Amino acid sequence: MTAGHNRRDVITGGAAALGLFLIGGNQVWATPSQAAARNFTPQILTQSQSQALSTLAEHLVPGSAKGGVSAYVDTQLKAGPNSLLMAKYVGVPVEQQKGFYLSALDAVASAISDKPVAAVAEAMASDTVPGWQGPPASYVFFLLRADALDVTYGSQAGFSDLDIPYSAHIRPETAW
Amino acid sequence: MIQNSPDTVIVGAGAAGLTLAARLAQAGESVVVLEAGAQRSTSDMISSQIWARKLKWSAAAVEESGTHPVGHAFNAGSGTGGSAAHHYGVWLRLHQEDFSVQRDHNRSLDWPITYQDLKPYYDRVQDAIGISGDHVAEVWRPPGAPYPMPPLPVFAQGRILDRGFQATGRRTAPLPLAINSVPRNGRAPCQFDGWCDAGCPIGALANPLVTSLPKALSAGADIRYDAQVIRVLRDSNRANHIRAVEYAQHGKRHQLVAKRFIIAAFTVQTSRILLNSSLNKQPAPGNRYDQLGRYLTTHPAGTIFGLFDDETTPHLGVSGGQLLCHDDYANKGQTGGFGSSQWLIANAIKPHDLLGYGTSRPDVIGGELRPWLQRAAKHLANMTLVVEDISSPDNRVTLSEVRDDAGMPKAHTHHDIAPEVANRWQQRIDEGEEIFRAAGATEVWHGPRVAMHIMGGTVMGDDEKKSVTDTFGRVHDTDNLYVSGPSLFPSSGAVNPTFTLTALAERQGDHLLGTPVNDALHA
């Protein structure tokens, strides 16, 4: 062939695939799952928002907390116009994502502070969370679940868990 | 600052812009392409649905309103190849009846050309780019040369869904794809790994990075990236003549003078640039009769999903699908709604992302999710519905009050869906679920109505009071300003637009170079 790469070339995606996380007071290059395992300090989300996201996402998509969903969202929001969050496809432009997520996660944090996460998730899906202040709850539910799916099943490890051959043409060094 | 003055400036390095850049540069013209996005190569096409999002539109967000927004962030692209860098290679011809919807049904607009005018260009492009398919099995196909490559194989998912079509008295054919089924023109054949949305670095899928871009570059075209065109500037002595484009690059404004200008910046941005070119109470080019930006269309689309006892291997194949059904295409006026429609059957699918099966079932959560996904990974099938839109002057691109970082007004799109089109969509979705059950699905559901492809805004026509350009894309009230791309489409049909916009660009190329237009080749 004269153009492109041979089938399933394995090349690296570059260091930009990693995020710079605040871990133990130091800026460290790490993947979101590594950052989660090392108790990273979120730079866009508050600790409360980060914890709320992990709790809800883990309920919706088991494995996503350990997979680093909070670190993933935090690092994408930090990326500003280069955010890869799926939200931009469904009505949340990148320049509005930070405000959207902060507002949504404040609402989630408030809701799960006095009710079990399972009850909150069920109420979010039907837009019946008492006192909900933020973007429509069912919309937030859909997007956070999608983010959790990205983190948990959007990688080579996730495909492997589902016994799907990844068959990359160009293999990403990391999932995002 | 005024830079050099090429023969032609083309705005946008997508399918239309690079097709014309290659044609004009190969004919000896000096050509500069101004692309708002980043330079990309095939090595940027990382096999990941998350990384794939880098190929989508990433500049100033488009404000959207209406009952059926056009989904610009998902449908548009930026950088080398534009939206065609992540397109699925479903290359279908418009049908003959798509060119006369107003005359036949008193809806939408008629094209100022017929299928016969475009047929020679479909044939030429098909031979140059390469399409895999079976023209005999595709019984609905309008006249044209046989495909130059055999169809791609049909895998289990396609065979299983075909049972449903046969059981309900419908016909299918291999989906025609601008994807190599065999080695051709130095490009490799497809490997059926389903990464089309992330680009195709092996070059099997005909995205511009492996088709028109190499030709344009080897012929000397100068492609400048991160160059956002703000407006076109009229000649102060000749109001119908465009003197230059103004563009922003690396925080500075520049002007580029040329003999000819072609705006090929994809549907919404093309209208935005022209609308922003109004100066001193003088109407924007092509807008003396307030037609610029109007007749914006998008294909209402949807996906049917189902689970089967059989193994479907849904990861195998290409994103566009394996089979095609156009049985309902010709009958636009059929009871139940309005518009043609098509089924793209057995799309290769991933577990996540907007079109993934995991995302399609937000009700499956917690401990049920992983076993459900594991089952779906082996036993799920899906197909995509595409429905014709009705062109309406009220669906349009306008300029926002909000400006982007370069100081240019953002684009605003408004698109409402006509009730009879929404009814057609629902009718076909119901039929699609019936087809799945007939194929043996044990569980069937469908996704929401979404917007696929964006067309119109600078539609071509014979009458300046009802269009923006003439039949060759020349903006009516100018002598050297052209538009290329799907924004020229007066009506949408129900087929994917890339083949048609490329054929139109080839036809424009002949016109601009003085080559006799192939109208004499009518079949």
Residue A1 to residue B188, Cβ atoms within 8 A: yes
Q: How far off is chain A from B62, nearest CA to CA, in Å? A: 8
Strands B260-263 and B481-483: parallel
**Which two three-digit tokens encode residue B305?**
């999903």
Give residue B422's pLDDT. 98
Helix-, strand-, coil-residue percentages of chain B, each rounded to 5: 30, 25, 50
Q: How far off is chain A from B60, nearest CA to CA, in Å? A: 9
A174 belongs to a structural domain: no
Q: Is A167 on the interface with B (CB under 8 A)?
A: yes
A85 belongs to a structural domain: yes
Residues B425-450 as b or e (16 or more Cβ within 10 Å = b) = bbbbbebbbebbbbbbbeebebbebb
Closest CA to B94 of B77, B111, B70: B111
The complex's ipTM?
Answer: 0.93
Residue A16 pLDDT exceeds 50: no
Cα B430 from Cα B84, distance rounded (Å) = 31
Q: Is A160 on the interface with B (CB under 8 A)?
A: no
Query: In a 3-state reduction of DSSP, which class is residue B63?
Result: strand
Residue A17 pLDDT exceeds 80: no
Kindly report the length of chain A. Answer: 176
* CA-based torsion, A139, A143, A149, A154: positive or negative: positive
For B279-321, the DSSP string reads BTTBPPTT-TTS-TTBS-EEEEEEEEEEE-SS---TTSB-TT-
Q: How far off is chain B from A136, nearest CA to CA, in Å? A: 15
Strands B31-34 and B222-224: parallel
Shortest CA distance from A96: residue in chain B: B61
Q: How far off is chain A from B354, nearest CA to CA, in Å? A: 7
The number of domains in chain A is: 1
Nearest beta carbon to residue A153 from set B195, B200, B373: B373
Q: Is A168 on the interface with B (CB under 8 A)?
A: yes
A125 belongs to a structural domain: yes
Shortest CA distance from B213: residue in chain A: A3
Q: How far off is chain A from B192, nearest CA to CA, in Å? A: 9
The model's pTM is 0.94
Residue A164 to residue B351, Cβ atoms within 8 A: yes
Q: Is A149 on the interface with B (CB under 8 A)?
A: yes
In whole angstroms, what separates CA B196 from the centre of its chain? Answer: 15
Cα B229 from Cα B37, distance rounded (Å) = 11
Q: Which conformational region is residue B511 in: left (phi greater than 0), alpha (psi within -120 to 50 degrees), or beta? A: alpha
Interface of B with A in 349-408 (CB under 8 A): 350-354, 356, 358-359, 362-363, 365-367, 369-370, 373-374, 377-378
A45 belongs to a structural domain: yes
Tens digits of per-residue pLDDT, B145-186?
A: 999 999 999 999 999 999 999 999 999 999 999 999 999 999
A63 belongs to a structural domain: yes
Is B106 in contact with B456 (CB distance < 8 Å)?
Answer: no
Chain B positions in Cβ-Cβ contact with residue A146 (cut-off 8 Å): 352-354, 359
Cα A145 from Cα A86, distance rounded (Å) = 11
Q: Is A5 on the interface with B (CB under 8 A)?
A: yes
Closest CA to B503 of B4, B16, B11: B16
Residue A9 to residue B369, Cβ atoms within 8 A: no
A42 belongs to a structural domain: yes
Tens digits of per-residue pLDDT, A91-113?
A: 898 889 999 999 999 999 999 99
Closest CA to A101 of A138, A53, A168, A148: A53
Residue A4 to residue B356, Cβ atoms within 8 A: no
Chain A positions in Cβ-Cβ contact with residue B194 (cut-off 8 Å): 167
For B172-220, the DSSP string reads -EEPPBSB-SS-BTTBPPP--BS-GGG--TTS-B--TTTTHHHHHHHTT
Residue A169 to residue B374, Cβ atoms within 8 A: no
Nearest beta carbon to residue A162 from set B74, B210, B351: B351
- ∠B199-B71-B393 over CA atoms, to 5°? 125
Chain B positions in Cβ-Cβ contact with residue A136 (cut-off 8 Å): none
Q: Which conformational region is residue B103 in: left (phi greater than 0), alpha (psi within -120 to 50 degrees), or beta? A: alpha
* CA-based torsion, B309, B314, B317, B321: positive or negative: positive
Mean pLDDT of chain A: 88
Mean pLDDT of chain B: 96
Give residue A26's pLDDT. 85
Chain B positions in Cβ-Cβ contact with residue A158 (cut-off 8 Å): 351-352
Domain that holds residue A26: 7-161
A81 belongs to a structural domain: yes
Shortest CA distance from A139: residue in chain B: B362
A18 belongs to a structural domain: yes
Mutation pick from A164, A166, A173, A174 vs chain B, by most beta carbons of B within 10 Å, is A164
Shortest CA distance from A166: residue in chain B: B193
Nearest beta carbon to residue B201 from set A4, A94, A145: A4
Nearest beta carbon to residue B374 from set A149, A163, A170: A163
Interface of A with B in 42-71 (CB under 8 A): 59-63
Q: Is A163 on the interface with B (CB under 8 A)?
A: yes
Residue B202 to residue A4, Cβ atoms within 8 A: yes
Give residue A28's pLDDT. 85
Count CB-CB contacts under 10 A for residue B166. 14
Count CB-CB contacts under 10 A for residue B290. 12
Residue B50 to residue A94, Cβ atoms within 8 A: no
Q: Is A80 on the interface with B (CB under 8 A)?
A: no
How many CA atoms, within 13 angstroms, populate the side-chain half-sphere of residue B410?
16
Q: How far off is chain A from B58, nearest CA to CA, in Å? A: 7
Tens digits of per-residue pLDDT, B424-441?
A: 999 999 999 999 999 999
Residue B354 to residue A125, Cβ atoms within 8 A: no
Nearest beta carbon to residue A170 from set B46, B71, B378: B46
Average confidence (pLDDT) over A27-32: 82
Give residue B3's pLDDT. 55
Matching residue, tokens 């007071």: A25
How many CB contacts within 8 angstroms connect chain A with chain B?
163
Give residue B353's pLDDT. 95
Nearest beta carbon to residue B74 from set A89, A95, A150: A89
Return averaged pLDDT per consecutive 10 residues of chain B, 523 residues in all. 80 98 98 97 94 89 96 94 96 98 98 98 98 98 98 98 98 98 97 95 96 98 98 94 97 97 98 95 94 98 98 98 97 96 98 96 98 98 98 98 96 98 98 98 98 98 97 97 98 98 98 72 33
**Which two three-digit tokens encode residue B91?**
């290359």
Strands B242-249 and B252-257: antiparallel
Tens digits of per-residue pLDDT, B21-70?
A: 999 999 999 999 999 999 999 999 999 999 999 999 888 889 999 999 99
Strands A26-30 and A19-23: antiparallel
Give residue A21's pLDDT. 84
